[in-house]
A and B are shown apart, each in its own frame.
Chain A
Amino acid sequence: MKSISVQYFALLREEAGVERENLSVPFKTYGELYSHLQEKHNFKLSVDMIQVAVDDEFAQLHHEIAEGARIVFIPPVAGG
């Protein structure tokens, strides 16, 4: 199990109903974590449409989750 914090951005924050949460998770990758959270919060957006940032840097969804990671899931935003 890894202790992590997850922050949501834009549409995801609205769907999650919280801005951030601290979790203990057994998952290997950020992609797996998102799929879990998608189910938990009923996110509309599938994993291939999401960007993930870890400790203020963009990461790839197949990267392995680091202990203590500060994770932000960022959906595409198009308003203008």
Chain B
Amino acid sequence: MFSLRSNPIDREELIAVLKNDKAGALVVFEGWVRDHNEGKSVSSLEYQVYESLAQKEGMKILDEARHKFNLHQVLCAHRFGHLLLGDTAVWIGAVASHRDDAFKATRFIIDEIKLRLPIWKKEHYVSEKAEWVFCKDHHTHVHFHEADYYQKQSKLISQDAIKAARVLVVGAGGLGCPVLVSLATAGVGHIDIIEFDKISLSNIHRQPLYSPEVVGEKKVVVAKNKLSALNPFIHIHGHDKKLDASNVEKFISGKDLILDCTDNLETKFLLHDACFKLKIPLVSASIYQYEGQVRTFNPNEISGCLRCTMDSTPDDAKIGNCNDFGALGAVLGVIGSLQASEAITFLQNKTNSTVKETYYFNVKNLTQMKIKNLKKANCECCNGNVEIQQVDFEVSADEMKVMNAVFVDVREMDDSILNDYLSEERPVVVCCNKGIRSKRLVQHMRNEGHKQFYSLSGGASSL
């Protein structure tokens, strides 16, 4: 039973109700009015309560505790009105067969009450004017003020511009985690996240949105929940998909800004080309060991593109990825935060420093380079004349399940293993670690005329 009282709490009366022959333990918690808070002397307290909601929420908390900790009986009384020093403000008694449950239950109940009950307190000080305090012990979503959340950044940025913005973050991994935390807490109003990967134990050291108990779950789901908890004032949409040629235009259209937090060149170039085609600005970042780079592509400004300086699309198989060369959380945190900061500046000013210059930072030596971007005359890509090429021999884990395919895991095998499947009539899905080697092998097989081969997109990490 949960009760709200305007009169003093009588502990003997409450304990009498809790008497139970099955019980081996009674644990009582009492919260008292003390004579100080944050350095000020307090003479008395006044509690205001939103009664109907508090009553309902209080019952809910006790119900949860009863089930969670096998309680025989539980009671809680909360005061409101004017309380004097030493008065009991809240009283909790939990009765269980064993003491451990009773201890845990009282702790759980008081923590939940502080967090969830819509109760405000006004402190009367000995030598100062009384005031209602915003106290983290007494907050609930019912009376959060959005302006308080952004108070410390209001001298730096215009919150309205950020709040109206629609951004897409591609990848919720090593760069995506610091980027998403920074954008969400800054108050970017609409954040879409696209990520197909699941959480593995080896991700967590550099991807602090995730923790060991969610290994195996979808990154996009966990990230969305975590970010929504960090900032309840923004809209976050997660897409459990791999970005590819068939969906890239759909995902980027209508956005104000795209953030490339991917880990492979194929997706980086796809995103880059699609952004120039639809004239949507893109902030791109990458790391290699201790070094990182950040560049913003703005198709609406004459500042060049990747195609201005690179004749062909480089092959992922030739440059490797984080699995090959390693990655450190601190480095990704620095570069991801720079990327997010560039994005916020762009949303504020419609341009930023890395539109004109690509920024390179070596986190180990603390050396930097700023290289002025080059615009090639008559660059087709800059003009938006880009063809988004469809790669149709990559399949997702879900697609593979319905194609009655032979599955070949080449992680521990030589390339020549595929020769055993040259006359296979069913589809052959090749799987490697990240989907890069398998793609190269399948491309080769298909060039030789063996069209039964498919590559598992994302590799074993997507299974």
Contacts and interface: CB of A to CB of B under 8 A. Distances in A.
A43 to B, nearest CB: 10
Nearest to B176: A80
Contacts of A79: 174, 263, 286-289, 321-322, 325, 327
B316 interface: yes
Contacts of B260: 80
Contacts of A44: 318
B288 to A, nearest CB: 4
B347 interface: no
A56 interface: yes
B311 A48 contact: yes
Contacts of B369: 53, 56, 72
Contact of B173 (A11, A51, A61, A80): A80
A80 B319 contact: no
A48 to B, nearest CB: 5
Interface string A8-52: 011100000000000000000000000000000000110011111
A49 B316 CA distance: 11
Interface stretch (B370-378, B414-422, B442-450): B370-378
A57 B293 contact: no
Interface centre among A50, A52, A60, A76 (most CB of B within 10 A): A76
30 contacts: A10-B291, A11-B288, A11-B325, A44-B318, A50-B310, A51-B309, A53-B369, A53-B371, A58-B372, A58-B373, A58-B374, A59-B374, A74-B360, A75-B319, A76-B314, A77-B288, A77-B319, A78-B268, A78-B286, A78-B316, A79-B174, A79-B263, A79-B287, A79-B288, A79-B321, A80-B171, A80-B175, A80-B262, A80-B285, A80-B286
Interface of A: 9-11, 44-45, 48-53, 56-61, 72, 74-80
Given A57-B372, A79-B286, A79-B325, 18 more contacts: A11-B320, A11-B325, A48-B310, A49-B319, A51-B310, A57-B371, A72-B371, A75-B319, A77-B286, A77-B291, A77-B292, A77-B319, A78-B262, A79-B174, A79-B288, A80-B173, A80-B261, A80-B263
